Structures are given as structure tokens and as C-alpha cells.
Structure 1
Amino acid sequence: MRLKLVAVAVAALAPVVAMLFYNEVALRHQRNEEVRTSAAQAARQASSEVERIIEGLHALLVSVSSMPSVRHLDVQACNDALKSVAENIPNIRTIFVAGLDGRPICGSMAFPKGVVFSDRDYFQQTLETKDFSVGTYTQSRLSDRPVLPLAIPLMEGDTIKAIIVSGIRLDWLQNRITERGVAPGNEVTIADGKGTIVAHVPSPDQFVGTILPEEYQRLIHAEQPDVIEITSQDGTARILGYRPIALPSSPLYVSAGFSKTEVFAPIDRATLMNTLAIIGGALFAFVAAIFIGNRFILMPISRIADVMESWRSGQTTARTGMKGPDELGLVGATFDRLLDELEERRRQNQKAEEERSLLVGELAHRVKNGFTLVQAIARQTFSRSDPERYSSFAERLAALAGTYDLILSREGLASPIRDILSAALRAHVASQADRIRLDGPDVVLPADTALPLSLVIHELATNATKYGSLGSENGTVTIEWKHDDGRVLLLWTEAGGPPVSTPTKKGFGSVLIERAFPSKAQARFRVDYRTEGLIFEVIFSIGEPVAKGEVDPLSRT
């Protein structure tokens, strides 16, 4: 019962758990989509800011290329002009003009002796494309600091006259990205075309100047921006939005990653709280189910069961004493009323039983007196004129009286077939007990069948004593019976007596045997006068009549 109550509590909690689980899945899916959108937007914003910086410096270089001192390569005037420009633009470290051989002509600062820039990739790219170019992460030969080089050609007609070069200070770019603010656990990465990181938030000291891992190199030159889930170099699982270099006006690779731990932290906390609440609610529900079940279900049921057990053991005064509006209280009260009614019926039955026993005793006394009176009348009437017939009549009357005694001693209900046979044979068994054998199952016969069977057995025993096996010293009688489907088959077999012959006329005993059983018993007889001994079979019903079509047991013998 406790398990059933717990099962009820579980069934009650199941919809709540299912609803919370569904909400959890839906909320996480929704949050995941929101974060993916935010990651893509953050990457787009960072990329746009980098593009604006590059475009601004591009415009600056275009303006520088228009200065007369620069166009005419007036070294002194060019040096002064470029120095003035560099001092007023905080995001660049130097700006200079180099010849086609890569040697500097003029610039915002003094040049180390013998320095050449013709081997730089951005220099060669500008010469090749005759257009603005953005280089890769470079350690400046002028300031010995990392920069992101920028270069445009100084054109004279269709011919390149010189190359104007500058470089974005990476420390300035790093500060600019840092100032934008990045939530804990998130990151922004800017890398050049070779995958070298030029700015990174957080931990720039750890990542700037390093190359992106091989598995992320494909993102730099991807055809389209996208959002993916990765595990970053610092071991953090992130949702990453990225903008590849392949996009128009995207000189650098930019990515923005959101830490899954951080973005899902509120949901995880809510999940933890909901889980704890469910566990607490489940524990409370189980405890309540057990407590309430014990108090309001198990205890009343146990009380009813105890009263039933007490009633079975004979304590008929035991009652539940239950009342109240609840269902089990009504059951207990109804059960008490039932026990009161049963007790009242028991008292009435006991009183009726006492009265019946008194009547049965009186009936037995009157029946015995009737038998005694009949025997006295017969003795006065026949004992002198026909002693032999009187003796036979007296024996039959004694057998009938014995069977009546057996039935009345069992209060007029029914008697076992073995007891009926023993009572009918009592006069013969007294001296010949070892010569009569009874064999068969325990079968109880109703009173209306017991009396006829007693008379039949008495007649058979009397004839066996006078003419059959019981009349000789070595003769025996075997009485066997079987019970099948409400019918009894009884077989009387004599052996060891004088030779048997078929009688020439039917006596009173034969008539008595044929007419002894009532019609509802559907009795059938078969007598076989064999030389070695009489065989008598009788089959009669003690229950429902045999249905038509059933095989008669007598037909099988």
C-alpha cells in the first residue's frame, strides 16, 4: 500500500517534472538562438569598427599623398610634414615614404642606417596591385614594436613613383577593443590573413602574436560569416560568431565568442533551483504520502483487518469504532453495522439451533417409540403364528431404525456412505467383520438417499446370510463404490459361498430393492446371479441429474 501511495505521488509529480523539462529544453533552445544572434552581431560590430579604422588611415594616406612636399619628394619639407602628421594621429607609430627599391626617402622619424622595406609583403603587394594594401602582423624596423602595416602607391600618371607606408599601433588597437568592454567569459579576436592574432580580449599578452590553431584556420578565409560552437584555446566552450577576410572590405579576420557557461549561467541556476525544488517537493510528497497514508489510509485499513481477524478468532464483540465523513470511516462504520447484524443473526441461529436440536431429539424419541410400538404390534401379531416372517420383519425394522439413528445423530442433514453401510451391516459385522470389506471414497449422502440405501444393503446382507456367501464359513462380501459427476456407483460382490442359481420368483426383498430409492435419485440396478457368487450393481444420483447423452456407468460394467 505504501508503494501504491508513493506511486500516486510520483504520478502527481510527473506532469510537473515533464512541464519543467519541456520549459527547460525550450528555454535553452531559445537562449541558444539569442546567443548565436548576439555573437554574430558582436562579430559584425567589431569587424565594422576595424574597417572604419582601416578606412580612416586609408584616407589619411591618400591625404598625405596629395601633399606637395611628398609628391615632389622634397626630403626636408617631407620630413617636417610627416612628423607633424604622425604627432597628431595617435593610432599610428610612424609614416614614411620609400622608394621603389624599398629604401626610405623621408619620414616622421630618423631611419636606422641601411634599413630596407622591399622584402615586406605589404610593399610587394602594393607594387603588384598599385592599390592600397594591408599587411600582416609585423615587428616594426623603425620602432621595434608590433604594428599592422598599411601602404598606398604614390602615383605619377600610371607609374608608381614611391610607396607611402604607415602602421597601426597594435597596442592602440588592443586598447580600443578592450575599451569596448567584453563580458566575463567572452572573447574578441582579430587576426591577419596568415592567422596571426593582432588583438585579443581577454589575455592579450597570452595570445597576441600567436597563430590561430590549425582547426580554426579555415574560418579566416571562409566564404561567408557564420556562428559555430567551439572550445577555445583557453579551454572554454563558446558560441563563436566570425567574419572572414574573404568578405568585401574585410581586411582582417574578426570573431566574437560568448562563453556558454556564462550565457547559460542564469538558466543553470534556475535549473538547479527547479531541480532542488522538485527534489524537495518529491521528498515532501513522499513523506506526506507515507504520513497521510499511514494516518488516514493504512491505519483505518489495519484496524478493519484486525477486527476481521479478531472476529475469525472468535472475538465477536470486536468492532472498529470508526465514524466520520471520509470514505474509510464510512467503510468502517458499515463494517461495524454488518458485524452487528451478523452477531444478531448468529444469536438467532444459535437460538434456532437449540430449538431444532430439541425438536430433533424429540423427533428421535418419538421415532424410536414408533419403531418400538410397531415391533411390539408385530410381535403380538406374528411371532407365534409365523415366527420366521416376524424375525425377517424385525431385522428389517432394526436396520431402518439404525439408519434413522445415524441420520438423526447427524441432525437430519446427511451421512457418509461408509457410516450408512456400517450401520446397515451392524448385525452381520458383529460376528463376521473379517468377511465383509468396504472400499470407496468419502461420499456424503443426503437423508432421502441414505435410508433407501440402508434398506437395500440390509436386504442384500440378509440374503447373503441365508442363501449366499455369508452363510458359509469361507464366504466374503466386498462392497465397492465410486463417485463421479454427482452419481454414485455401488458394487456388491459375493464370493466363496455355495453355488448361486437364478430365483424362479420375485420375493419381497427384490421388490424392496427395486422401489427403495425415490424417483429423483434416478436409481438403476443390475443383478448378476453368477455361480461363484452374486454381483449386484446400483447407480443413483445424489446431485444434479445426469444430462442426456452422457454415458451411463452401468453400461460400462
Structure 2
Amino acid sequence: MRLPDPLGQTALPAQDRIAPVLKPPLRVFLALGFGAAGLVATLVLALVASRVASQRLEARIEAELGDLADHMAGRLDRGLFERWRDMVILAENDTLRDPAAPVERKRRVMRRAQETYPDYAIIGLIDADGRVAATSTGVLEGLNVSHREYFTQGREGPFVGDVHDALLLATLQPGHDPADPPRVLDVAAPVKADDGRFIGVISGHLDWGWARRVEASLRETSAGQRDVTALVLARDGTVLLGPDALRRKALPADLPSVAAARAGKSGTVTELWPDGRHYLTGYRPARGYRDYPGLGWTVLVRQDAGTAFASVADLRRQILLWGLVVATVAAGIGWFAAGLLARPLRRLAVSAASLGRGEPVEVPASAVREAQAISHALTAAAHALQRQEEERRAADARQDLLIHELNHRVKNTLATVQSMARQTARSAASLEDFTGSFEARLLAMSQTHNVLTANHWEGAGLRGILAAELEPYAGGRADRISLDGPPVSLTPSVALPLGMAIHELATNAAKYGALSAAGGQVRVEWQVGAGTLRLRWRESGGPAGAPPARTGFGPRLIRASLERELAGEVRLDFSAGGLACLIAVPLAARTEAA
């Protein structure tokens, strides 16, 4: 016996048709699909994880290098501030301020200060004429230094001079290489008598080896980071501290780190240096500390970019490697899973063919939960086909009913519009007045229709109808309109007349009542009891109310739509405080709390 092929192929015997035709392609297709999907998903996940992790690691490395630059700049600034403070304190020493004090006592005071902080090469007291009166080591006494900057600037106030070669000190150090004289910073402060009279200047020459020790301490701090080099640049860009090949040379002003630091910025940048290598460079301008204003130095901490980001490259390789391993495993699992899935699918194909012919479906047993679910779904589909036919016939009946209902509602709406047109024309003073009033009432009806349409004409919420009619008059102010009451759902037969009545009340309030004044307010309250909706409209803050000389179309429309059509009750009270309207409407049987 030959069966129709559900895949549209040539019909074959059942025992031959499924095995040789479907089994190999299906398994290969599923295995390739699962394997490829797993491979792509794993690789994408590995790439994303690699990128995110690399970015975070790079940011951490850059932050660490920037912190090193910030740390060194802070150490230098605080160190010079402390030396600045040393000179200020020495300038207040009574022995140094006493012109009659023996020279040996003054030497002893300065020697004690030098022993306290050995990085001073020498400390000297200079008299008012610019001659060295006494030094901590006893040398250079009597020398005229009135032309030196530390004297000329130090007599005006505390002073710190930039790094320079100490040629005079070099002559006092036997065996020192003349080509490489010691480098010092001058720190000075004025010495004054009790009456404020200038006595002299106390000056200390700070050995530049102090800065090199700060740099060595930085290297110890960054022991985990290889090839980290710190540089200190003078205000003009000259390298004061750094590699021997760069010392005493000026770095290019357009080097990104140098340019940024001169602009007062701090941060980290990867840049190409004059030696042709890329470095990750942390930069920070030295801004001084407390009273010490700083010397305009720039601190750079650099590391070869390849070395700095070596851990990032290693991380990327590891993530990609593990991603490939996981993807390969996923492909193998896909191949195995494809075999498990293919067998029940073949049996399901036979059942689907039976279902297509309208035959009873035999549910094949399966160890795979999903295949078993599909089997049950096929059985349910057979029952669903029968239900669909029954539902189709019921839908046809409902459609006929809806057409009759629509015809009835259109006729009622046209009758309402016709009556509204006649009544509006009867009370209109001009064609323009008729057009405006008629369009406004049509719009009010359409707004209620919109609310009903949104609810499939099964009902409309009272609050929604009130909001649709009154919102245009609120002027964007929340205190203009107040709605207070429980959720109430109205049938279309109640919603349309009530919406028209609310529109007439709102139009009257906007023209003559509370909504015509800037401070006017309308409060609408309602409640439901014994199958009747009781709604109260109250106006306040508007012009004083007075009963109209004649009854206009608005009040007639309210009474006609609510009292005649809905057998309701309407009471209008034109009091001095503003119009008050009480409406009582019986609710239809379908009305219920929303």
C-alpha cells in the first residue's frame, strides 16, 4: 500500500519512505543547525565578554597609571610644602633673629635642622646686605649672594626656586665630576625682627636627590607593573627627572600628555613618543599644596603600551580559546540531540499526514517531552478542527446579528442628529451661530462614540466620558475640573444622552458660568445606589448666576435626553454662587461597576 507523502514527494511504501528519504537529511540539518547556532552564539558571547572585560581591564590599568602620576605629583608638592614650612619656621627662630647671637649658636640651629631632614645640601643665613652670615656646615660664610634669586625673592616672602645646577657647591665636593654638578632647589624665607625690620634671609638648598628618592618609592609602589618610568617636567617642558636619554631635554609641546597637563588637565593617554614607541602615559600638573603655589611642574608616568596591555591581550586569547572549546562541545551536543529529536519527528510526520486526511490520529509514545507535547497537540488539533467548524457557524450568526444591531444604531444616531439640527437651527441667531453650535454638539457625540468604540460598544466608563467632554475646558490646569466618584460603566443607550447633557453643561459654563472666569472651577460628583446614577454638577468662582430669561436649547436638550429618553430626573439651580445641576438616571440592566 502506498501513502501520500506529507512533504510533497513521490509516494513510497511507509517502511521505505521515511527512513531513506527523511532520516539522514533531517539529522544532518538539525545537527548543522544546532552546531552552527551554538558555535555562533558562543563565539559572539566570547567576543562580547572579551570586549567588555578588556575595556574594564584597560580602564583599570589606565586608572592605576593615572593614580601613580597623581600620587607622585602629590608627594612632590607636599614635600616642597614641608621644606617651605621649614624655612618659615627657622625664620621665626629667636637665635637666628638675634643679631647679637654668636655665629656658632646660629650654625648649631641650622645644623640641627639639616640633621632633621638630611636632604638639605646646606642651610644658610644671609644678612640684610646679601652676605652669608652663617651656614650649617660653616662653608661659604662671608660670600656675597645679593644677586641670587633666593635672596632677592626671599626678602619679599617665602620662596621656592626651580631646579638648577649648584656650581658653587660642586667646588666644595672633592672628586665631583664638573660635567655633572649637583642639582638643588632653593627654598628661602625672610627673617624679620620683632618690630618688622628686615634682618636677612634664611635659605636652604634642597638636594635634587630628594625627588629621585620619591621616584624610587613610586617604583616600589608599582612593583607589579613592569617598565614604569616617572618623569618630572619643568614649566618649559625640560625633563628634570627621568631616563638619562631624556634628562635636561625638552619634550615636544604637542605631545598629547604634555599639552593636556599644561592645560591643567589630568588623565591617561596612549601616545607615540619621540623614540618611536607607543606608551600608556598618566599625566598630572603639580598644582602646589596649601600655601605653597607650586613651580608649574608636570608629572608623567609612562609604561610601554604593549607591556601595559599584555594582560588584556592574554585575557582576550583565553576567552576566545575557551569560547572555541565550548562551541565545539555545543556542536557535538547538537549532533547527538538531533538524533534524539529526529526519531520522534518521523513518527509525528506520519500522524500529521493522517490528520491531513481527516483520519483518527494515533498518538505515538516518545521519551522526548517536546515530541510528546506535539503528539498531544496533533490530537488536540483534530478536535480543534471540529470546534472551528462549529465556531464558524456561530460567527456567521453573530455577524448577522451585528449587522442588524449596526443598522438599528445608525438609524437612531441619524434621528438624533436630525433632531439636534432642527433644535439648533430653531435657537440659532445666525448661520455662523448654527454652524458652531451644531459642530460642537456633533463633536460631543463623536467623543462619546470614541469612548464606546474603544470598549467595542459594550459599555463606557462614566469617568472617561466626563474627562473627554471636560478636558478641553481645563486649560492645562489640574484644579480647574474636579471629578469624584466610584467607577461606573454605562450602556451605550445611557452613555450617549448623558454625554450630550454634560457637553451642554460644559458649553454653558464656558460661555456664561464658572469656566468663563480665570478662577472658576467645576466639581462633578456621583454615586450609584438602588440601580440609579446620581450625578451632581456644581460651579464656583464664576460670575453670579441668575435664572435665564428664556429656556434655551441646551436645557431643553438636557431634559429631553435624560428625562424623556432615560426616564431620569434633572434639576437646575441658578444660584448666586454658580449653577448647580442634579441628575438622576436609572441604569440599564447591563450597567455594572467597572
* TM-score interval, normalised by the smaller of the two chains: 0.3 to 0.5
What TM-score do the two structures reach when normalised by structure 1?
Answer: 0.45
What TM-score do the two structures reach when normalised by structure 2?
Answer: 0.42
Which one has more relative contact order, counting CA pairs under 8 Å at least 6 apart?
2
Specify the structure having the higher radius of gyration (Cα): 1
